[in-house]
Amino acid sequence: MSRSAPTHCPYCALQCAMTLTPTDAANPASPPVTVAGRDFPTNRGGLCKKGWTSAELLRAPSRLGAPLLRGADGALHEASWDEALDHVARSLRGIRALHGADAVGVFGGGGLTNEKAYLLGKFARLALGTSRIDYNGRYCMSSAAAAGNRAFGVDRGLPFPLEDLDGAATILLLGTNVAETMPPFIGHLAGAQAAGGLVVVDPRRTATARLTDEGQGLHVQPVPGTDLALLLGLIHVVIAERLVDAEYVAQRTTGFESLRRSVASWWPERVQSTTGVPALTLRRLARRLASGEGTYILTGRGVEQHVDGTDTATAAINLALLLGLPGRPGSGYGTLTGQGNGQGGREHGQKCDQLPGYRKIVDPEARAHVARVWGVEPDAIPGPGVPAVELLQSLGMPGGVRSLLVHGSNLVVSSPNVAAVREGLDRLDLLVVCDFFLSETAALADVVLPITQWAEEEGTMTNLEGRVIRRRRAIAPPAGVRDELWILAELARRLECTATFDTDPELVFEELRLASEGGIADYSGIDYAMLDRGEAAYWPYPRGSAGTPRLFADRFAHPDGRAKLVAVTVRASAHPAPQPGELTLVTGRLLEHYQSGAQTRRVPELDAAQPEALAALHPSTADRLGIADGDDVEVANTRGTVRCRARVTTDIRPDAVFLPFHYADAQAANLLTSDAVDPISSMPEFKTNLVRVTRVARLTEAGVPT
Ligand SMILES: Nc1nc2c(c(=O)[nH]1)N[C@H]1C(S)=C(S)[C@@H](COP(=O)(O)OP(=O)(O)OC[C@H]3O[C@@H](n4cnc5c(=O)[nH]c(N)nc54)[C@H](O)[C@@H]3O)O[C@H]1N2
Ligand SMILES: Nc1nc2c(c(=O)[nH]1)N[C@H]1C(S)=C(S)[C@@H](COP(=O)(O)OP(=O)(O)OC[C@H]3O[C@@H](n4cnc5c(=O)[nH]c(N)nc54)[C@H](O)[C@@H]3O)O[C@H]1N2
Ligand code: SF4
Ligand SMILES: [Mo]
């Protein structure tokens, strides 16, 4: 194979288009393909550093080349595929016989192709017979998804193509740092930026917030965790100043009266005392948002990853609906999906309450439809399981999960309260991890199964716009690794499951089309041939239709066609204020690293740029705590302690400290995060946790304090 392959980046949901061209394999140390940006409406040829360097992982020295089995000596040893798969199947059968099918759990990922995610959900329900499947999208999109479903009756991150943003006059970015998390995205902000209408709400002065310096943009820097109050205040002003699009609200929504009553007490001065955002700023912002055509409101993890994340996202939607934005040409509301297939990953059945096509697993009609496609009786499909955090809390507990299969998550770094997760993994009878590297989670496994990487496989992904795109194979995989579809099929066979498990991604997609047909996320009109021709395919795409680039033009997805305004309110207990001596820990991302860092910490250039976690502190806070830039510090609470160096910067509020979550071991931010969850979405509280920061003596190499 020497032809170039048009494909997309292995990392985030922007899924930048790239061309991979195989190089001569003469030098085994150099990447087997070159990467070039490819023109596409989302990235317009641009890539970020992670995309440019992505090929370095294809032949990285630390890549796994054979299955690993934990031996009697406690160490991992190379094994043959038959040995490894036989061992897994035998152990699973034993656990199932002793403890029942729900003692086997599956943890999936939003980076899996649609085909893998679909087959994983089918494998769990039919080959394992378990209800215990959930995935890392629970940590990512669940609050936004719950809010979208509640308000619109459907959850598609962006209900419009990204290019629509180009014509915007005003864009409100709530808790998202796209300049670092999706760099080519900022090209689509240029219009609003030039029109003086870029507004960024973030407790940190991020690279995205700095984009507001040009023109007359606005950076709003609220107390972390107070976005709900801020949004209630904006809604209050919109109603009080008669900025509501009354005709739209009357014709296209329900629930206005109770919403109006619910925000009556959130006058701007009260909101100012809660959020720290001046009442004048709030009024100015409300007027700007209502000033005419071309307004978009977008949310990211900063407002969603909270115990009240669903309500906060709901308030953002309420604001958008009052202004008449969703479905109106040139305006809109959306949330920025995160992982490569964060959108498709939540549509085809790896969520504990779902079947393919975004169907509900408790809905008898949905069960009957999927059972027909799978060739089983509806009763053969287990009921709903439990969401990710609850699943992990049950590891090794009485009545809980005793064996876990992990596909696409480094959960011992990225889950909340990771010390407790690690204890849970230690209690398991069997941990099986499919990965291309010995991630921190894989290193704890009893069996590690090495798999193909993006440039070595075919499939589809669904980007942040709900557009289905093709992942294409540019090179052959190393001899010892296998495709995950093959692994699932081989395990299903060994578990004597009679349902079909195809290993050709196109055949799996053909089955997914049928399974999704008639569902909310209907893919039945999409096929590989049209995607290969470059046709734009946005779901819902029923057979015989032309797909749906823009949702909500005429109706919302609830039976009455209207959107629901849902009154939400602030729970005082959601974000307790820091006590004297405490700071609010804010977590998030750096440009150079992806997620748990399992991949990007292995890319020399990225690692060199950001080799360690740095705790960002405001100069006034650092001064008070006697901490100088570069000092060693401990960031601690009752759950754990992170040890790292301090970075003193005015980019953060004095009441907060920031840590990226890309690092492991003693630098894992999730040692400090709480596994309390949002009651509606089961999203954990990643973004605001209380901590204390102290300077500690640096140890010399001999372990002596300096
Ligand atoms: N470089 C890089 N890019 C990525 C990823 C990555 O790991 N690295 N991951 C991908 C994935 S899966 C995702 S989900 C997306 C996430 O993309 P983003 O949502 O942009 O990422 P975060 O950095 O998690 O959070 C965004 C901002 O929220 C702010 N924030 C924290 N607490 C609050 C709060 O209480 N209120 C408000 N208003 N803001 C707050 C943080 O300061 C941060 O700047 O990025 C995707 N792209
Ligand atoms: N404190 C804090 N914690 C967070 C967040 C935060 O903002 N703050 N953000 C959360 C969010 S939004 C997310 S999305 C999660 C993500 O966190 P994780 O779920 O840990 O995501 P990754 O680090 O991408 O881990 C993916 C793993 O699967 C492997 N992998 C990649 N592709 C495949 C594949 O196709 N198949 C298989 N089997 N393996 C594959 C990679 O090598 C890697 O080891 O972290 C969450 N955790
Ligand atoms: S922005 Fe996302 S999709 Fe684009 S190159 Fe960077 S990581 Fe890849
Ligand atoms: Mo995410």
Q: Check if 606 has its Cβ closer than 6 Å to any atom of ligand 3.
A: no
Domain stop point among 302, 335, 368:
335
414 CA to middle of ligand 2, Å?
7
Ranges 97-111, 214-228, 449-463, 580-594: which has the least confidence: 214-228
Question: Does 394 map to a domain?
Answer: yes
Same-domain status, 206 and 226: yes
Q: Is the pLDDT of residue 638 over 70?
A: yes
Using most ligand atoms within 8 A of CB, pick from 14, 52, 188, 467 the residue to mutate for ligand 3: 14
Q: What's the pLDDT score for residue 592?
A: 98
Closest-CA residue, ligand 2 atom 45, reads 414
Alpha carbon 469 to its chain's center: 18
Q: What's the pLDDT score for residue 612?
A: 98
Average confidence (pLDDT) over 210-222: 91
Report the mean per-residue pLDDT for the chain: 97
User: Would you give the DSSP letter of residue 699?
Assistant: B
Is the Cβ–Cβ distance between 407 and 116 less than 8 Å?
Answer: yes
Q: What's the pLDDT score for residue 701?
A: 67
Residues with CB under 5 A from ligand 4 (ion): 140, 338
- At 698, is the pLDDT very low, low, confident or very high (cuts 50, 70, 90)? confident
Task: Report the residue count for the chain.
Answer: 706
| CA 591/CA 589 separation, integer angstroms | 7
Q: Is the pLDDT of residue 704 over 80?
A: no
Same-domain status, 304 and 377: no
Q: What's the pLDDT score for residue 26?
A: 64
Task: Count CA atoms within 13 Å of residue 194 on its CB side.
Answer: 9
| CA 582/CA 662 separation, integer angstroms | 23
Closest-CA residue, ligand 1 atom 1, reads 591
| CA 594/CA 413 separation, integer angstroms | 12
Q: Check if 14 has its Cβ closer than 6 Å to any atom of ligand 3.
A: yes
Same-domain status, 170 and 275: yes
Average confidence (pLDDT) over 297-320: 98
The domain that holds 655 is classified in CATH as 2.40.40.20
Same-domain status, 587 and 603: yes
Start-to-end CA span in the chain (Å): 57
Same-domain status, 79 and 118: yes
Q: What's the pLDDT score for residue 2?
A: 56
Q: Is the pLDDT of residue 156 over 70?
A: yes
Q: Which atom of ligand 1 is nearest to the CA of 206?
A: 44
Same-domain status, 105 and 146: no
Q: Check if 12 has its Cβ closer than 6 Å to any atom of ligand 1.
A: yes
Q: Check if 288 has its Cβ closer than 6 Å to any atom of ligand 3.
A: no
- At 27, is the pLDDT very low, low, confident or very high (cuts 50, 70, 90)? confident
Domain stop point among 276, 302, 335:
335
Question: Does 222 map to a domain?
Answer: yes
Domain range for 655: 583-695
Average confidence (pLDDT) over 516-534: 98
Report the number of distinct structural domains present in the chain.
Answer: 3
Using most ligand atoms within 8 A of CB, pick from 596, 603, 671, 675 the residue to mutate for ligand 2: 596
Count Cβ atoms below 10 Å from residue 374 Cβ, excluding itself.
21
Q: What's the pLDDT score for residue 293?
A: 79
The domain that holds 497 is classified in CATH as 3.40.50.740
Question: Does 704 map to a domain?
Answer: no
Q: What's the pLDDT score for residue 136?
A: 98
| Tens-place pLDDT, residues 378-404 | 999 999 999 999 999 999 999 999 999
Alpha carbon distances (Å) from 47 to 42, 184, 607: 10, 6, 18
Average confidence (pLDDT) over 115-135: 98
Question: Does 6 map to a domain?
Answer: no
Q: Is the pLDDT of residue 127 over 60?
A: yes
| Tens-place pLDDT, residues 218-276 | 999 999 999 999 999 999 999 999 999 999 999 999 999 999 999 999 999 999 999 99
Q: Which ligand is nearest to the CA of 335?
A: 1
Question: Does 20 map to a domain?
Answer: no
Q: Is the pLDDT of residue 706 over 70?
A: no
Same-domain status, 625 and 659: yes
Element (H, E) at 425: helix 418-427
Q: Check if 176 has its Cβ closer than 6 Å to any atom of ligand 1.
A: yes
Is the Cβ–Cβ distance between 241 and 274 less than 8 Å?
Answer: no
Alpha carbon distances (Å) from 350 to 347, 512, 662, 683: 8, 13, 24, 16
| Tens-place pLDDT, residues 642-696 | 999 999 999 999 999 999 999 999 999 999 999 999 999 999 999 999 999 999 9
User: Would you give the DSSP letter of residue 518?
Assistant: T
Domain stop point among 315, 335, 355:
335
- Classify each residue of 258-287 as buried b or exposed e, where b means 16 or more C-beta atoms within 10 Å of its C-beta: ebbebbeebbbeebbebbbbebebbbebbe
475 CA to middle of ligand 2, Å?
24
Average confidence (pLDDT) over 528-551: 98
Same-domain status, 488 and 522: yes
- At 1, is the pLDDT very low, low, confident or very high (cuts 50, 70, 90)? very low
Q: Is the pLDDT of residue 80 over 50?
A: yes
Q: What's the pLDDT score for residue 3?
A: 86
Q: Is the pLDDT of residue 108 over 90?
A: yes
Q: What's the pLDDT score for residue 705?
A: 61
373 phi and psi, to 5 degrees?
Answer: -65, -35
Same-domain status, 374 and 355: yes
Question: Does 591 map to a domain?
Answer: yes
The domain that holds 229 is classified in CATH as 3.40.228.10
| CA 195/CA 213 separation, integer angstroms | 12
- At 183, is the pLDDT very low, low, confident or very high (cuts 50, 70, 90)? very high
Is the Cβ–Cβ distance between 288 and 215 less than 8 Å?
Answer: no
392 phi and psi, to 5 degrees?
Answer: -70, -35
Average confidence (pLDDT) over 354-377: 98
Alpha carbon distances (Å) from 678 to 259, 352, 415, 696: 21, 16, 15, 35
| CA 92/CA 104 separation, integer angstroms | 7
Which residues, at least 6 apart from 453, have a Cβ–Cβ distance to it below 8 Å?
10, 57, 58, 436, 477
| CA 596/CA 410 separation, integer angstroms | 6
Closest-CA residue, ligand 2 atom 25, reads 409
- At 216, is the pLDDT very low, low, confident or very high (cuts 50, 70, 90)? confident
Question: Does 350 map to a domain?
Answer: yes
Same-domain status, 482 and 591: no
- At 292, is the pLDDT very low, low, confident or very high (cuts 50, 70, 90)? confident
Q: Check if 469 has its Cβ closer than 6 Å to any atom of ligand 3.
A: no
Q: Which ligand is nearest to the CA of 673?
A: 2
Q: Is the pLDDT of residue 29 over 90?
A: no
Same-domain status, 516 and 397: yes
Same-domain status, 229 and 348: no
Average confidence (pLDDT) over 518-531: 98
Confidence (pTM): 0.98
Which residues, at least 6 apart from 61, have a Cβ–Cβ distance to it below 8 Å?
none
339 CA to middle of ligand 2, Å?
8
Average confidence (pLDDT) over 615-640: 98
Question: Does 504 map to a domain?
Answer: yes
- At 285, is the pLDDT very low, low, confident or very high (cuts 50, 70, 90)? very high
